[in-house]
């Protein structure tokens, strides 16, 4: 090989390495097109709760996570990818879910998450798939009868990163608020007497009341909390696939079947087909 040819092939190899490395950097997980990726590798990574009875709860006996959100995620995966499709679950809390989505650790959040104007600045949401409202959980016989009865002597337990933590400060400005990391910590704190009430969505509180009959919901709901599936901005193809899957599930009866499995004899939270968020 002549000296010139050797030099030229060294330059070519160098260029190829630079192009390869810059290509790798440009295509970070958070930037990839999810709709294209799942076509090639049929797995959707869902961010779900692991500590919320009825929606996403880890069963320590068989190490599976179970709940309404989980079943909806599995069915959406099946509608989009067919029987080959795999739904993988990653634990999120109210505080960690948006950062995990933004970093590309998960493809979507289905975790008792309210669609709100503030959150829409960071992520996109699917159509509404469940309708909840914020309420209070107290020990039976408590002097607290609703949000209006909370005073400066009462402490309310909420979870970091939830809409409930923001709403309760507006609804009961007098009350003391303590923010915990997740719902199991908050319920443990309530049982230990570290607060007189706990506040979040009625459907989540019902799951706790069903676990311990010393507690009850009081005062009805004082906000609307429409749940949506959060997806990163710039993933419109995937978002459309998710909305189409939800629509099909309303049409083919799988949505109702899953709803009735988790909330038998109760249709309060059922979302209408194609229900949209109105700010
Ligand atoms: N739905 C409310 C929210 O999105 C409360 C439940 C939760 O913390 O996930 O913040």
Answer yes or no: do 160 and 193 share one domain.
yes
Q: Is residue 7 part of a domain?
A: no
Name the domain count of the chain: 2
Q: Is residue 33 part of a domain?
A: yes
User: Which of 122, 181, 204 maximizes ligand 1 atoms within 8 Å of its Cβ, making it the mutation to test the pocket?
Assistant: 204
Answer yes or no: do 145 and 239 share one domain.
no
> Cβ < 6 Å from ligand 1: which residues?
94, 111-114, 159, 162-164, 200-201, 225
Q: Is residue 17 part of a domain?
A: no
pLDDT tens sequence for the chain (279 residues): 555 556 555 545 554 544 444 444 445 677 899 999 999 999 999 999 999 999 999 999 999 999 999 999 999 999 999 999 999 999 999 999 999 999 999 999 999 999 999 999 999 999 999 999 999 999 999 999 999 999 999 999 999 999 999 999 999 999 999 999 999 999 999 999 999 999 999 999 999 999 999 999 999 999 999 999 999 999 999 999 999 999 999 999 999 999 999 999 899 999 999 999 987
Q: Is residue 274 part of a domain?
A: no
Residue nearest to atom 8 of ligand 1 (CA): 162
Residue nearest to atom 4 of ligand 1 (CA): 113
Ligand 1 atom closest to residue 200's alpha carbon, by position in its atom list: 5
28: exposed, middle or buried (Cβ count in 10 Å: 0-12, 13-18, 19+): exposed
Q: Is residue 169 part of a domain?
A: yes
- C-alpha 41 to ligand 1 mean position (Å): 31
Answer yes or no: do 127 and 230 share one domain.
yes
For 157, other C-beta atoms within 10 Å of its C-beta total: 27
Task: Say what the pLDDT of residue 21 is.
Answer: 47
**What's the rounded Cα separation, in Å, for the pair 181 and 187?**
11
Answer yes or no: do 205 and 232 share one domain.
no
**What's the rounded Cα separation, in Å, for the pair 63 and 65?**
7
Answer yes or no: do 116 and 32 share one domain.
yes
- C-alpha 116 to ligand 1 mean position (Å): 10
- C-alpha 151 to ligand 1 mean position (Å): 24
Ligand 1 atom closest to residue 165's alpha carbon, by position in its atom list: 10
Q: What are 139's strand-pairing partners? A: 215
Residue nearest to atom 5 of ligand 1 (CA): 162
For 77, other C-beta atoms within 10 Å of its C-beta total: 22
Answer yes or no: do 166 and 107 share one domain.
no
Q: Is residue 231 part of a domain?
A: yes
Answer yes or no: do 239 and 214 share one domain.
no
Ligand 1 atom closest to residue 114's alpha carbon, by position in its atom list: 4
In the chain, at which residue ranges do the beta strands (DSSP E only) sit?
A: 43-48, 51-52, 56-59, 64-66, 86-91, 108-109, 123-125, 130-132, 134-139, 155-159, 176-180, 197-201, 215-218, 225-227, 230-232
| Backbone Cα Rg of the chain | 23
Token pair, residue 124, equals: 């996109």
Answer yes or no: do 64 and 148 share one domain.
no
**What's the rounded Cα separation, in Å, for the pair 162 and 94?**
6
Task: Say what the pLDDT of residue 16 is.
Answer: 52
Task: Say what the pLDDT of residue 151 is.
Answer: 96
- C-alpha 250 to ligand 1 mean position (Å): 24
Q: Is residue 90 part of a domain?
A: yes
CATH number, domain at 116? 3.40.190.10
Task: Say what the pLDDT of residue 196 is.
Answer: 97
Task: Say what the pLDDT of residue 115 is.
Answer: 98
The last residue of one of the domains, among 202, 218, 234, is: 218
Q: Would you say the pTM of this structure is higher than 0.85?
A: yes
Answer yes or no: do 252 and 201 share one domain.
no
**What's the rounded Cα separation, in Å, for the pair 22 and 70?**
38
Residue nearest to atom 6 of ligand 1 (CA): 112
Task: Say what the pLDDT of residue 265 is.
Answer: 84
DSSP codes joined into one string, 62-78 = TTEEESHHHHHHHHHHH
Ligand 1 atom closest to residue 97's alpha carbon, by position in its atom list: 9
- C-alpha 2 to ligand 1 mean position (Å): 69
Answer yes or no: do 243 and 168 share one domain.
no
Answer yes or no: do 232 and 123 share one domain.
yes
Q: Is residue 11 part of a domain?
A: no
- Give the range of the structural domain holding residue 37, as residue numbers without chain letter: 28-131+226-262
Neighbouring residues of 44: CB distance < 8 A, sequence distance ≥ 6: 34, 38, 73, 76, 77, 80, 81, 85, 86, 87, 88, 107, 108
Answer yes or no: do 75 and 198 share one domain.
no
- C-alpha 83 to ligand 1 mean position (Å): 31
């Amino acid at each position: 090989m002549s000296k010139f040819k050797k030099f030229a092939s060294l330059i070519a190899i160098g260029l190829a390495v630079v192009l390869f490395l810059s290509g790798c950097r440009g295509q970070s997980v958070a930037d990839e097109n999810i709709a294209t990726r799942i076509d090639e590798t049929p797995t959707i990574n869902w961010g779900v709760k692991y500590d919320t009875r009825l929606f996403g709860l880890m069963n320590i006996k068989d190490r599976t996570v179970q709940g309404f959100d989980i079943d909806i995620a599995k069915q959406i995966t099946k509608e989009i990818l067919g029987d080959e499709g795999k739904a993988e679950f990653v634990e999120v809390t109210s505080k960690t879910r948006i950062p995990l989505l933004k970093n590309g650790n998960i493809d979507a959040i289905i975790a008792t998450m309210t669609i709100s104007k503030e959150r829409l600045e960071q992520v996109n949401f699917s159509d509404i798939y469940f309708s909840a409202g914020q309420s209070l959980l107290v020990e039976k016989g408590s002097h607290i009868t609703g949000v209006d009865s909370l005073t400066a002597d009462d402490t309310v337990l909420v979870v970091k990163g939830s809409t409930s933590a923001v709403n309760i400060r507006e609804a009961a400005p007098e009350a003391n608020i303590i923010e915990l990391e997740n719902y199991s910590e908050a319920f443990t704190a309530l049982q230990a007497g570290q607060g007189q009430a706990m506040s979040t969505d009625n459907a989540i509180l019902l799951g706790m009341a069903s676990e311990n009959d010393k507690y009850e919901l009081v005062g009805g709901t004082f906000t609307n909390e429409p749940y949506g599936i959060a997806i990163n901005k710039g993933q419109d193809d995937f978002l459309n696939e998710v909305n189409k899957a939800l629509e099909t599930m309303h049409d083919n009866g799988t949505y109702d079947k899953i709803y009735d499995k988790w909330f038998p004899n109760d249709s309060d939270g059922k979302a209408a087909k194609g229900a949209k968020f109105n700010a």
